[in-house]
Structure 1
Amino acid sequence: MSHSNTDEKLVRMANQIATFFLSQPENERVDGVAGHINKFWEVRMRARFFEMIDAGEGEFLPLVRDAAAHVKRPVKTPA
């Protein structure tokens, strides 16, 4: 799978999570999205998520971008 297809899938997944949480009370949305990503996304997925967020890439919904501040940023370990 190309990097582009992987990125598109990651954006689609994040946006689907956010779309679900849009039906929840407003004060639970950001934590709900972040909690789901923290619980179910592996380190490589979260690492690529932050590369994209930090670079302003991807058509993430605003709720996803807001939740990014609450997602656990993977720790880079020395090679």
Structure 2
Amino acid sequence: MSHDHQAQDQKLVYMANQIATFFNSQSDDHAIGEIANHIIKFWDPRMRAKITAYVGHGGAGLSPRAQSAVERLPQPQPQSAE
């Protein structure tokens, strides 16, 4: 993995962890749902795909809540060639 990809991954990890920190006072179930909703609403589909792939490779550095939220994200649908 190139340094640029690592830097991008770490930026996404930082962002997801910041969102998770915002919901620290909430119960796990509620917080994880809200973190996932935030990522769905405000992150570009490419960012969501990258963080999902990152979690698929272990998700190092993600808080447990952030990782759980990413695992709840809907899987991207392949684009059909028309």
> Same fold, TM exceeding 0.5?
yes
Partner of 2:6: 4
Alpha-carbon distance in 2 for matches of 1:30, 1:58:
18
TM-score by length of 2: 0.83
Q: Which runs of 5+ in 2 are unaligned?
A: none
Q: What residue is the counterpart of 1:38 in the other structure? A: 40
SS in 1 for 2:76: coil
Is 1:55 matched with 2:37? no
* The structure with more radius of gyration: 2
Q: Could you tell me how far apart the structure 2 residues matched to 1:26 and 1:3 are?
A: 30
Aligned residue pairs total 79
Structure 1 pair 47/26, CA: closer, same or farther in 2 (3 Å)? closer
Are the equivalent residues in 2 in contact too, given 1:8–1:58 (CA < 8 A)? no
CA RMSD, 1 decimal? 1.9
Give a deviation string over 1:1-57, Cα, whole Å, max 9, x none: 811111110000000000111122444111110000010111100110111111103
| Distance in 2 (alpha carbons) for counterparts of 1:53 and 1:27 | 19
Identity score, percent = 39
Q: TM-score normalised to the size of structure 1?
A: 0.85
Question: Where in structure 1 are there 5+ consecutive unaligned residues?
Answer: none
Deviation beyond 3 Å, 4+ runs, structure 1: none
